[in-house]
Amino acid sequence: MTRHGELGTALHRWRDRIAPAEAGLPAEWSRRAPGLRHEELAELAGLSVDYVVRLEEGRATSPSVQVLSALARALRLSEEERRHLFLLAGQSPPAAGRIPAHIPPSVQRLIDQLGSTPIGVYDAAWNLVAWNPLWAALVGDPAAATGRDRNAAWRHFTGRPSRVSHTPEQEARFEAALVADLRSAADRYPTDANLRFLVGELRRLSSRFSQLWKSHITGFHESDMKTVHHPDVGPVTFDCDTLTAPGSDLRLVVYSAPPGSEAAETLPLLDVIGTQPMPAAQSGS
């Protein structure tokens, strides 16, 4: 069997082992075969159905790193399986010196199962690498953002628009924690070119970041309250916690609300609204 044939066999096997419900898809009693259909894998990975079929049949022979990374996330591959996928496709696995953006299956299950809680997942450099629909509905859909526009430190220190506001005390804690995290990441991944460029640009463009970086400030993420200014429901205050996924550098930012609070009552409404703006009310004639 050729290498491309082996790639198709592996993709088929990995696709068969994932139950639709595990991937957040509706279960159907009439399914003829276990696992994901081609169109379901294509939807999860952001690829065309035809391309997924051609990959499995060995007719698409040069998948890009971006395509392979999307397939690895959609198929919930382990780190070793992800490496095997890249090798089968004739690509070099991501260098060990680079910050990993891989989402372990256990973290992906957590995102899927906590659908009523807004969750965003960031890598060690604070790049947003995954989120659930309620996160997008609450803080804004990041799907169209690319590159540094998905980086929390870049957006904050360069003054990008945000729905989240901080008190001066909250902002000081947030900035200290961000800079401390980036310094720690730079120590762990000294050869990551993207991280070095990010830090260099932030030091050049933001006097506040440069000051904090040179001060070697220490900080950590505490449970805090954050106010989100939603364009349809107005300002709502949530509890915000930053959790670290065991065995990885991933950080899960979770918004929650006490039962019976205004914020708790707002979340189901946001689930309905999604990322679509509500139409303006029409005046009566």
Q: Is residue 117 part of a domain?
A: yes
Q: Is residue 192 part of a domain?
A: yes
User: pLDDT at residue 136 above 80?
Assistant: yes
Together in a domain, 51 and 132: no
Any idea what the CATH number is for the domain that residue 197 is in? 3.30.450.180
Its pTM stands at: 0.70
Segment 46-55, tens digit of pLDDT = 889 999 999 9
Together in a domain, 67 and 141: no
Residue 44: count other Cβ atoms within 10 Å of its Cβ. Answer: 19
Q: Is residue 254 part of a domain?
A: yes
Together in a domain, 7 and 82: yes
User: pLDDT at residue 172 above 90?
Assistant: yes
Together in a domain, 129 and 200: yes
Cα–Cα distance, 193 to 141 (Å, whole number): 27
User: pLDDT at residue 17 above 80?
Assistant: yes
Together in a domain, 221 and 117: yes
Specify the residue for token string 């550098």: 249
Segment 178-208, tens digit of pLDDT = 999 999 898 888 889 999 999 999 999 999 9
Percent of the chain with pLDDT over 70: 90
Domain that holds residue 238: 105-273
pLDDT at 26 (0 to 100)? 67
Average pLDDT over the chain, rounded to an integer: 87
Confidence at 3, pLDDT banded by 50, 70, 90: low
Phi, psi of 180 (to 5 degrees): -60, -40
User: pLDDT at residue 285 above 50?
Assistant: no
Cα–Cα distance, 91 to 64 (Å, whole number): 8
Side-chain half-sphere of 175: how many Cα atoms within 13 Å? 23
Q: Is residue 164 part of a domain?
A: yes
Q: Is residue 284 part of a domain?
A: no
Q: What residues contact residue 88 under an 8 Å CB cut-off, 6+ apart?
A: 3, 6, 7, 10
Together in a domain, 166 and 264: yes
Helix (H, G, I), strand (E, B) or coil at 21: helix
Helix (H, G, I), strand (E, B) or coil at 239: strand
User: Which stretch, 18-22, 109-113, 186-190, 238-242, has highest mean pLDDT?
Assistant: 238-242
User: Which stretch, 102-111, 215-224, 254-263, has highest mean pLDDT?
Assistant: 254-263
Residue 99: count other Cβ atoms within 10 Å of its Cβ. Answer: 18
User: pLDDT at residue 270 above 80?
Assistant: yes
Confidence at 128, pLDDT banded by 50, 70, 90: very high
Cα–Cα distance, 38 to 49 (Å, whole number): 6
Together in a domain, 116 and 229: yes
Report the domain count for the chain: 2
Together in a domain, 63 and 127: no
pLDDT at 281 (0 to 100)? 36
Any idea what the CATH number is for the domain that residue 55 is in? 1.10.260.40
Specify the residue for token string 């429901």: 233
Domain boundary residue among 88, 120, 138? Answer: 88
User: pLDDT at residue 27 above 70?
Assistant: no
Residue 271: count other Cβ atoms within 10 Å of its Cβ. Answer: 15
Q: Is residue 78 part of a domain?
A: yes
Paired with 77 in beta bridges are: none
Tokens at residue 92, please? 């070099």
Q: Is residue 93 part of a domain?
A: no
Range of lowest pLDDT (32-36, 64-68, 115-119, 271-275) = 32-36
Together in a domain, 53 and 134: no
pLDDT at 187 (0 to 100)? 83
Residue, of 93 and 280, whose pLDDT is higher: 93
Together in a domain, 168 and 210: yes
DSSP class of residue 274 equals T
Domain boundary residue among 55, 88, 121? Answer: 88
Together in a domain, 125 and 203: yes
Q: Is residue 281 part of a domain?
A: no
User: pLDDT at residue 33 above 80?
Assistant: no
Together in a domain, 122 and 48: no
